[in-house]
Amino acid sequence: MMSPENHHEEPPKQQQQQEQEEEDDHTLLIPQPLSPAKFPVTHQKETAYEANQQITIDDSLDIDHNITPPFSLKKLWLFTGPGFLMSIAFLDPGNLEGDLQAGAIAGYSLLWLLMWATGMGLLIQLLSARIGVATGKHLAELCKDEYPKWASLCLWFMAELALIGADIQEVIGSAIAIQILSNGVVPIWVGVVITASDCFMFLLLENYGVRNLEAVFAVLISTMGLSFAWMFADAQPSGKELLIGLLVPKLSSRTIRQAVGVVGCVIMPHNVFLHSALVQSRKVDPKKKGRVQEAINYYTIESSIALFVSFLINLFVTTVFAKGFYGTKQADTIGLVNAGQYLEKKYGGGLMPVLYIWGIGLLAAGQSSTITGTYAGQFIMGGFLDLRLKKWLRALITRSCAIVPTMIVAIVFNKSEASLDVLNEWLNVLQSIQIPFALIPLLTLVAKEEIMGSFKIGPTLERIAWSVAGLVMVINGYLLLDFFVAEVNGFFFGFVAITGTSAYVVFILYLINHGDCLPSTLFSHVVNTGYAYIGK
């Protein structure tokens, strides 16, 4: 039997226990951080690559993760791949058409601009790779976190428009190549259907791993390189004029439109988003500074090599058409559709008919760029909308967004070569409009210490990057102005164009002002003055 003392001690213990249980119940009502070890995750954020898809880079020998390991050819090989997939956008059918028109109309005189434009493109792509490695997220994901929902959705819509425009050019380029290689038996719209099936080939390749997918792209790039190098050797362009074109800047009023096209075709909006995701195919811990710096170094090397290869291929195409058609009556009428016939007439058959060499190179360019377009579409849609869909469904949705309008366009515009050329001009304008909506978020985020940490870019590189972005936007602005003056007629269309342009400019200024990190340049002075004027 309990003593009186023990009998009086029990109620306080029961009261304490009851109070503890009430406190626990109250705690459960307050949102608490979930421990992955104790609670199942019902929803995971969209990631570029699952852990089992990433290539592991051995770091077992590292003593201090803050120290960058020494250079290794073996590791360079392991990091090689994303840059070459990224470089496909510099070789798509739209770029090839810009190359051949620049060569036919301007001769060798714009080769220097092609070289410098490729260098500017390389700078932008290296910043894209940098932000992907340092944060462990790709640009679409970061934009979703950085901007208000309405602005994020606008950026997503603009990126999708740019991707659809690029994809239409790429699919039609492939369809033209199929028509060439089939001796005209296969019409354009059937070629579009054939090309549309590449998303299933893409899914099949993905199932075999990242390295096998990269190997297929290496074969496609090699096919382009060999095809256009063969044409270059057959044409035998002047070495002296080629060197002068590369080293001596020349620009005339007659070639200004081609010059704008050369620069405008190099920086592709969807490619900026794509590269920041591709680099995450290698497993790099953003918390290990030495490993991050090592990855940035290797990606810089392999991206530089990849874009040098793409520059050579673009140079081959430009010089072949410069040698064959500069100063001729046909120069102003050459486009992607009839380029093969003109080459056949100029250079003849030979061991391998130049028409088929051109067709093979064009097909490789079209097929590779449509597959990377599918890839980019998945990252853009998944990152902005945070979608967790099965690969086949996500690829199907992405391809449908581009293939449906492409089919309509192919049927409507497949009446004449001139109509397809007009279509290509409109698509170039569509993509040019979207460039600021990839560049401004990239340059804003890559300079923020809270996002990049110690890997944020320094003030000198920031000024250079913004100067390049400003130059590209001004050049594309000129292209848009020239295009609208020539094509927009009537009060209604003029009113729509002015209204749309005003909203467009305001959104660009909003994005720049939101970042609040525009360095002191002439471009920043113009932008800040414009934003202050609108604010009044």
Query: Which pLDDT tens digit goes with each residue over 378-428?
Result: 889 888 988 766 666 766 776 676 667 777 776 776 655 566 666 776 777
- The pLDDT, as a whole number, for residue 33 is 42
- The pLDDT, as a whole number, for residue 44 is 52
Report the Cα–Cα distance between both ends of the chain, in Å, rounded: 88
The alpha carbon of 54 is separated from its chain's Cα centroid by a whole number of angstroms, namely: 21
SS3 labels along 245-297: HHHCCCCCHHHHHHHHHHHHCCCCHHHHHHHHHHHHHEECCCCCHHHHHHHHH
Tell me which residues of the chain have a pLDDT lower than 70. 1-48, 51-52, 59-64, 199-200, 202-203, 264, 348-351, 388-392, 394-395, 398-399, 401-403, 410, 413-422, 425, 483, 487-488, 516-536
- The pLDDT, as a whole number, for residue 62 is 60
Cβ atoms of 156 and 140 closer than 8 Å: yes
What amino acid occupies position 447? A
b/e code 23-36 from CB counts within 10 Å (16+ = b): eeeeeeeeeeeeee
CATH class of 68-418: mainly alpha
Q: Which long-range contacts link 79-82 to residues 24+ away (Cβ below 8 Å)?
A: 79/282, 79/295, 79/298, 79/299, 79/302, 80/214, 80/298, 80/302, 81/210, 81/211, 81/214, 81/278, 81/281, 81/302, 82/129, 82/214, 82/275, 82/278, 82/279, 82/281, 82/282, 82/299, 82/302, 82/303
- The pLDDT, as a whole number, for residue 19 is 53
Mark residue 51 as left, alpha or beta (left: phi above 0; alpha: psi -120 to 50; beta: remaining): alpha
- Locate 305 and state its tokens: 């090599």
Q: Residue 160 and residue 155: Cα distance in Å, rounded?
A: 9
Q: Indicate the domain borders of the chain.
A: 68-418
CB-CB neighbours of 85 under 10 Å = 25
Half-sphere exposure of 263 (CA within 13 A, CB side): 22
Find the helix packing angle between 289-325 and 111-135, rounded to 10°: 160
Give 242's contacts (C-beta < 8 A, 6+ positions apart).
108, 111, 319
Nearest to 324 by CA among 306, 348, 305, 303: 348
Residue-level length of the chain: 536
- The pLDDT, as a whole number, for residue 203 is 67
Q: Residue 80 and residue 211: Cα distance in Å, rounded?
A: 9
